[in-house]
Amino acid sequence: MGQRTTGYQLPNPLVYELGNPNFTVYHRAALGGLAATIEAWKKNPRLKPEGIAAEVDAGKVEIRWDKKLSDRQFIRRLLEASFRLTPDKLIDLPGHGIETDRDGLRLAIHTGLCGTFLQHNKMRPGEKTPRTLKVQVEGEEQEYLLTYKAVNSYAHQKAQGTRLLGGDDQAPLPPVALIPQSVVPGAMTGASELEGPPEEVLLLLYLMVGSAVFLLRSYRHESRAQYCLVIPDVKNLKSFARNLRQIAARGANFLTNGYPGRIAGGTEEAALRFLLALEAGNLTEEFGRSVSGCLAVAMGKAPWDRKQNYRTLVVRLGAEYPELEVFRAALQHFGKGRLLTSARGEAFPASPNPLPELIAANLAAERHWCADFIQRCQEKKDFEQLTFQKGGLAAMTKAIKDEDDQAIIAIFHEAWRMTMGALSERAQREGSDFTALVERERERTRNAILRAKTAEALAGWFLRFCADATKGAALAGMKRNAARVREFIFNPRNFERFQNLLLFALVSYMGREDNLSEGGIDA
């Protein structure tokens, strides 16, 4: 790495190693983005910059260029091949591997990037009047009309604000380059700008490619976050590049695809969605897991300044959580982002189902997966909505690994099934409406669980509920797990968990109620 008195010269070949101790998570994600871009050139050789050759392996990227090219000419060609625009003036990052017929996903990413990396108008000069684009959501017949701001160019195309490119391509590079907000969101100038060696700043330009952007629509009214950047901690460049391409190529069954796939409830949900999508790409992969976790950054309006999007929350997530399967089940059943259409015919993202957001936030904070479920049951309206989502809730129940949780839910379901049986008999005997009886009983049970204020009171109610259901006999599940259940329900530390689990069990019961309502008894 030679340093001249007149300036700085990039080493040729330029080698970036994932194991460089001076690389932060931002560098590693950016290196993943650079690797994905280089791999995209191999898939589509007409994109490859002239005079530049690059190789990617699991831990290293090596770039060589024609010695006739000056450093600035090399950087210009590299960036031209990496940061492009579509004819519709949407941002096109070859590293993402989004095909031309997948404008929905491209538009969601364009919107996200314009609100985060490129939020300042000067970073993406474009047309004043918004354009519209018709987006077809896979699995739906209706087309949605979405508006966006078309851009003529953007900061990354010319390394704006970094000092890497200037008027004269023959001039040497400065020994120090700058890191503006468009390169690392949140890197505000301050009294002195953030600086780095030119090759590191060049690498950081690819952070935009290596990270995933989501549009946030949280059910929590206090949340002002609008976007989420998921910055993966890349540990295998080759497999990361392949996974990134696979995500873009997948159909509607994969939940990060299409415009709705980039709508998430919360920061943690967005991050876990992306990690699961990467992991799905690994099922046929010989390289193993490509990331070890990620940093999720929420960006939105801060109460003290409405003009720009600030970083409002930063969450670190690992790739492994004990109850990740519960989240996966919730995501599969409730995770599909929704688009609504306004009276003027324009579509906009709507808040998705809150359950994936709740569970993801719990897992990320290392809380019990069901913590705060009570919040979704306190309002009768919310609770009734949950009772219509039994299929997904039942799938979540099946995914639970914790034995205490399994035992409590199974016992409650067993007791509830017997209660249903008794109600059915009563309905037949009295000629009353079975459904109305069940709803009344469910509401009574919800209130009883919500009103319990201590572990002892809740345990007492639970035992009474089980005894009433069996007319005094012991439930099979209770017999099998007597010691475990006793220890769990009488421990005051488990009170909130127990309460949340009972409410979850109440809404997730999948019996043969339809048959029962027609006179059958499921007992």
Partner 1 sequence: MLTLHVEVPYGSFRKSYARSLAETYPLPPPATVYGMLLSLVGEGFRRRHVGVRLALAFSGTYGNGSQRHSPFPRVAQTLRKLSRYKYGEAPKQSEQGNRPDYIETLCDIAFLCWVDSAQETNPEPRLEMRLREALETPEKITRYGVLSLGLSDDAVNDICLVQKPTGDWHRLKPSQEGSLELPVWVDHVGSRHTRWQRYELEREPVTPTEPPLEAYWTVIRPPA
**Residues making contact with partner 1 (CB under 8 A):** 19, 21-26, 176, 179, 184, 186-197, 233, 235, 292-293, 302-305, 310-314, 316, 318, 366
Peptide bond before 175: cis, by omega within 30 degrees of 0?
no
Q: Mapped to the 3 state alphabet, what secondary structure does 356-385 carry?
A: HHHHHHHHHCCCCCCCCHHHHCCCHHHHHH
Name the minimum Å distance from CB 220 to partner 1.
15
Q: Which two tokens stand for residue 493?
A: 């530390």
The amino acid at residue 204 is L
Select 253 or 491, whichever has its Cβ closest to partner 1: 491
Select 52 or 313, whichever has its Cβ closest to partner 1: 313
Name the minimum Å distance from CB 21 to partner 1.
5
Select 179 or 437, whichever has its Cβ closest to partner 1: 179
For residues 173 and 312, give the distance between their C-alpha atoms in angstroms, rounded to a whole number. Answer: 35
Select 297 or 409, whichever has its Cβ closest to partner 1: 297
Look at residues 29, 17, 25 and name the one whose alpha carbon lies nearest to residue 199: 17
Is residue 257 within 8 A of residue 337, CB to CB? The reply is no
Select 8 or 465, whichever has its Cβ closest to partner 1: 8
Name the minimum Å distance from CB 176 to partner 1.
6
Name the minimum Å distance from CB 330 to partner 1.
23
Name the minimum Å distance from CB 325 to partner 1.
21
Buried b (16+ CB within 10 A) or exposed e, 422-443: bbbeebeeeeeebeebbeeebe
The H-or-E segment that residue 73 falls in is: helix 71-82
Look at residues 451, 416, 232 and name the one whose alpha carbon lies nearest to residue 408: 416
Name the minimum Å distance from CB 196 to partner 1.
6
Name the minimum Å distance from CB 197 to partner 1.
7
CA 330, chain centre distance (Å): 13
Select 107 or 179, whichever has its Cβ closest to partner 1: 179
Residue with tokens 């209130």: 447
Select 202 or 437, whichever has its Cβ closest to partner 1: 202
The amino acid at residue 156 is H
Select 195 or 346, whichever has its Cβ closest to partner 1: 195
For residues 504 and 413, give the distance between their C-alpha atoms in angstroms, rounded to a whole number. Answer: 10
DSSP string, 76-143: HHHHHHHSEE-TT--EE-GGG---TT-HHHHHHHHHHHHHTTT-SGGGS-B-SSPEEEEEEPTT-S-E
Look at residues 522, 465, 446, 462 and name the one whose alpha carbon lies nearest to residue 495: 462
Name the minimum Å distance from CB 297 to partner 1.
8
Residues in Cβ contact with 109 at an 8 Å cutoff, skipping those fewer than 6 apart = 91, 93, 96, 98, 213, 262
Name the minimum Å distance from CB 73 to partner 1.
25
Select 126 or 180, whichever has its Cβ closest to partner 1: 180
Select 293 or 460, whichever has its Cβ closest to partner 1: 293
Name the minimum Å distance from CB 193 to partner 1.
6
Select 251 or 303, whichever has its Cβ closest to partner 1: 303
Select 161 or 337, whichever has its Cβ closest to partner 1: 161
Name the minimum Å distance from CB 362 to partner 1.
13
Select 191 or 283, whichever has its Cβ closest to partner 1: 191
Name the minimum Å distance from CB 235 to partner 1.
7
Buried b (16+ CB within 10 A) or exposed e, 85-120: beeebbbbbbbbbbeeebbbbbbbbbbbbbbbbbbe
Is residue 521 within 8 A of residue 424, CB to CB? The reply is yes
For residues 360 and 216, give the distance between their C-alpha atoms in angstroms, rounded to a whole number. Answer: 14
Is residue 135 within 8 A of residue 347, CB to CB? The reply is yes
Name the minimum Å distance from CB 123 to partner 1.
16
For residues 180 and 199, give the distance between their C-alpha atoms in angstroms, rounded to a whole number. Answer: 15
Query: Quick one: DSSP state of residue 448?
Result: H
Task: Bin 168: left if φ > 0, else alpha if -120 < ψ < 50, else beta.
Answer: beta
